[in-house]
Homo-oligomer: A and B are copies of this chain.
Amino acid sequence: MMLTNSRKFQVVGEYEQAEPLLEDFPDVTPDVVLMDIGLPGISGIEAASRLKREYPYVQIIMLTVYDDDEKVFQAICAGASGYVSKNVNAEKLVEAVEDAFNGGTPISPHIASKVLQMFKDNLPTKNVSYSLTKRELKVLEHLVQGDDYKTIADKLFLSNYTVRAHTRNIYDKLHVHSKSQAVAKALKENLLPA
């Protein structure tokens, strides 16, 4: 109702479930889809994912009462173009549809907080400095690639004794005692320059 009253666009279909929508879609071809996250049958997220896969141009706005991280996360991955709280007024909803149509991503401030928080959480951890030298970093890079000493030596034009010496120093600085530990630490703590 909120949308039907708007003159800016036309409501071409309404569905209680995802299945019939997916079936009819090729015929109705809307520009923007408003999708409830919690649908009976196929979930809104799954439906969004399928829609996007088959009709990449369609803009999908997720309507949601949930704000738990997992749902938001999944919705993002599904390729939705907007995340709007269910209890918005008509005006906001109309705006959101317009924004989505114009290639923007309308997000309710409350949900945006979630997204940013997740984003920060996913950020590579701050490069705790173990003060590895340039050479040591270089060797570490190769260790992460799974090269053995001899291979590294060849690639860096070094004696394999030297490579072993560097590795030893790396182990000391990282407080580890094996290649796998060093690799794990390097990757988990993002010690290598991107």
Q: Taking beta carbons and an 8 Å cutoff, which residues of A are in contact with B?
A: 76-77, 81-82, 99-100, 102-110, 112-113, 115-116, 118-120, 122-123, 143-146, 148, 176-184, 187-188
Q: Which residues from chain B contact A112 at a C-beta distance below 8 Å? A: 104-107, 112
Give 18 A-B pairs besides A103-B110, A180-B180 with Cβ atoms closer than 8 angstroms.
A77-B120, A77-B123, A82-B109, A99-B109, A105-B109, A105-B110, A105-B113, A106-B109, A106-B112, A107-B107, A107-B112, A119-B119, A143-B180, A144-B184, A145-B181, A146-B181, A148-B178, A187-B188
CB distance from A161 to the nearest CB of B (A): 19
For the complex, would chain A's binding face be called helix, strand, loop or mixed by DSSP majority? helix
Q: Can you give 24 A-B contacts (C-beta < 8 A)?
A: A76-B119, A81-B113, A100-B109, A103-B110, A104-B108, A104-B112, A104-B113, A106-B109, A107-B112, A118-B119, A122-B123, A143-B180, A144-B180, A146-B176, A146-B177, A146-B178, A146-B181, A146-B184, A148-B178, A179-B179, A179-B180, A183-B187, A184-B187, A187-B187
